[in-house]
Amino acid sequence: MKVLREIYDFVAGGSLAAPVGLAVAILTAIFVPHLDPTVRAATFVAIVVLTLAAATREKVA
Amino acid sequence: MNGWVLGGTTFLASAVEMVEAATIVLAVGITQGWRTALTGAAWAFVALAIIIVAFGPVLARQGAITWLELIVGPFMILFGITWLRKAIWRAAGRKAMHDEQAIFDKEVAMLQAARDKRVGFATSFQGVFVEGLEVAVIVVTFAATRPALLGWSIWGAVAAALIVIAAAIALRAPFARVPENAIKTVVGVMLLSLGTLWTGEGLGLRWWAGDATLFWFVAIYAAAAALLTLVERKPVTA
């Protein structure tokens, strides 16, 4: 468990919002294939920006 | 993709991490002698070089870039968010700025109390290895997605490490005036931008300006970071 925690801290810096938001961005890109390609790409970037905002609003690590 | 973009990103990432490592090596050198300090640092560089040599060329030789981009891209996005949010917190006053002089003083006090050369060796090794590990991972992941530019990312990282260590030994003082937070912001924006580009390519997204969309991402994330810094800024109380 401690090793997993270390890896998680190393990769995500202890953030919960970052991996969750990134998963949402990836799943949205995969499961909404009918959107216009440019809109799909822009949606992905918009979700990443929101993820950054959410991660910044988290408690200071 | 331009080699200068990848080389420049690893140069800046390595520079900011080596500034932190140099503070620790310096503390060991002054309290326990340069031989102990530089031996520990040299072994850490060997360990980091082994990681890069073991994984970099192997990943660079993979033919199918797409699935590698899907693995490497999200890692870069997470690294980028981690770097950037810390820089935003510091710029906004929510987290204390990295104080190299305070870290140096703390390390010197600890090493003077220990007096054991093995502690000095371990401190120097750990300082360089821990700070350099993230740079090594960045170099290896760059190799996975842009194999032809592996040399650029390695030389970017090595050049910064050599310059910073040489300057630290020449100055014999911690780098208290290096604008670490500004450099961290730039690195965070670059990692986030490269991660977005590669993850999107792996997912089959069609970027509106091809590889040049990277510069759009840089502008978008830099603007977002500036806005978030303003939002997060603590109100000044009289």
Based on the number of CB atoms within 10 Å of its own CB, is A54 exposed (0-12), middle (13-18) or buried (19 or more)?
A: middle
User: Which residues in chain B have their CB less than 8 angstroms from residue A10's CB?
Assistant: 133-134
Are residues A29 and B205, on separate chains, in Cβ contact within 8 Å?
A: yes
* Residue type (1 letter), B117: K
pTM above 0.90, yes or no: no
A54–chain B Cβ distance below 8 A for any pair: no
User: Which residues in chain B have their CB less than 8 angstroms from residue A48's CB?
Assistant: 77, 192, 196
Answer whether B234's CB lies under 8 Å from B95's CB: no
Look at residue B63 in the predicted model and tell me its pLDDT: 58
Based on the number of CB atoms within 10 Å of its own CB, is A36 exposed (0-12), middle (13-18) or buried (19 or more)?
A: exposed
Closest residue to B77, CB basis, from A30, A48, A61: A48
Question: Long-range contacts: B66-71, Cβ < 8 Å, 24+?
Answer: B66/B201, B66/B202, B67/B202, B68/B144, B68/B145, B68/B202, B69/B144, B69/B145, B69/B198, B69/B199, B69/B201, B69/B202, B70/B199, B70/B202, B70/B203, B71/B144
User: Which residues in chain A have their CB less than 8 angstroms from residue B203's CB?
Assistant: 26, 29-30, 44
Query: Which of A36, A48, A57, A59 would best serve as a mutation to test chain B binding (most B beta carbons within 10 A)?
Result: A48
Look at residue B227 in the predicted model and tell me its pLDDT: 95
A8–chain B Cβ distance below 8 A for any pair: no
Interface of B with A (CB under 8 A): 74-75, 77-79, 81-82, 84-86, 88-89, 94-95, 133-134, 192, 196, 199-200, 203, 205-208, 217, 220-221, 224-225, 228, 232
Look at residue B1 in the predicted model and tell me its pLDDT: 60
Answer whether B130's CB lies under 8 Å from B18's CB: no
Q: Can you tell me the distance from the alpha carbon of B141 to that of B147, in angstroms, rounded to the nearest whole number?
A: 10
Q: Over the stretch A2-59, which tens digit does the pLDDT of each residue have?
A: 788 878 787 788 889 999 999 999 999 888 877 788 888 999 999 999 999 999 998 8
Structure tokens at A53: 């905002």
Taking CA–CA distances from B74, the nearest residue in chain A reads A22
Closest residue to B82, CB basis, from A13, A41, A57: A13
Predicted complex: ipTM over 0.85 = yes
User: Which residues in chain A have their CB less than 8 angstroms from residue B94's CB?
Assistant: 60
Contacts of B38 (CB under 8 A, 6+ apart): B25, B29, B124
Can you say how many angstroms the Cα of residue B95 is from the centroid of all Cα atoms in its chain?
Answer: 19
The pLDDT tens digits along chain B (238 residues) read 677 888 888 888 888 888 888 888 888 888 888 888 889 999 999 998 888 888 777 766 665 566 778 888 899 899 999 999 999 999 998 888 877 778 888 888 888 787 777 888 898 998 899 888 888 888 888 777 777 777 888 888 889 888 888 888 788 777 777 778 888 899 899 999 999 998 998 888 888 888 888 889 999 999 999 999 999 886 655 5
